[in-house]
Amino acid sequence: MADTVDYRAVLADLKARKAALDQAIAAIEGLAGEGPSGIGSSVEGPSVPIHADTFVGLNITEAAAKYLRIMGRPARTTEQVADGLVRGGLNVTQASVSSILRKNNRTGEGEVIKVGRGLWGLQEWYPGRPRRSNRQGSEETE
């Protein structure tokens, strides 16, 4: 009597493991300052797909942190974060995302921090790094 193999279950398990490994690799690349291609921060898509409902039910702060985790590296612009949130089902504008992230960065709220001009990352990726804020109260530019 031959054993039957449920290839669909095997395939689903392998895909889940691959997604987890891709996400771990992307996170480590982000920490190392490399994109998926191995040369600097790339603007290629995430290793884990962003679905139309990925950010539904989250606020901008929570969704931005989740987006950065999915990407596994810092976002080069606020526009990149906003576009990702819209792709994930959050009805936001670039201006609203910018405003919330800048406010949270100044007040120390949330996990997302400004790490350079227009560059947003997760606090956990930059342990001990202080949040960047505008020095003389003028508006930051993106």
Domain-located, residue 139: no
Amino acid 133: pLDDT: 56
Q: How far apart are alpha carbons 65 and 30 in whole angstroms?
A: 14
Amino acid 37: pLDDT: 39
Domain-located, residue 107: yes
Number of domains observed in the structure of the chain: 1
Record the pTM.
Answer: 0.61
Amino acid 44: pLDDT: 45
Domain-located, residue 69: yes
Domain-located, residue 52: yes
∠ CA 98-76-141 to the nearest 5 degrees? 45
How do 112-116 and 119-122 pair as beta strands?
antiparallel
Domain-located, residue 31: yes
Q: Which residues span the domain enclosing 69? A: 7-125
Amino acid 43: pLDDT: 41
Residues of the chain with pLDDT under 50: 35-44, 135-142
Domain containing 32 — which CATH number? 3.90.56
Domain-located, residue 27: yes
Domain-located, residue 65: yes
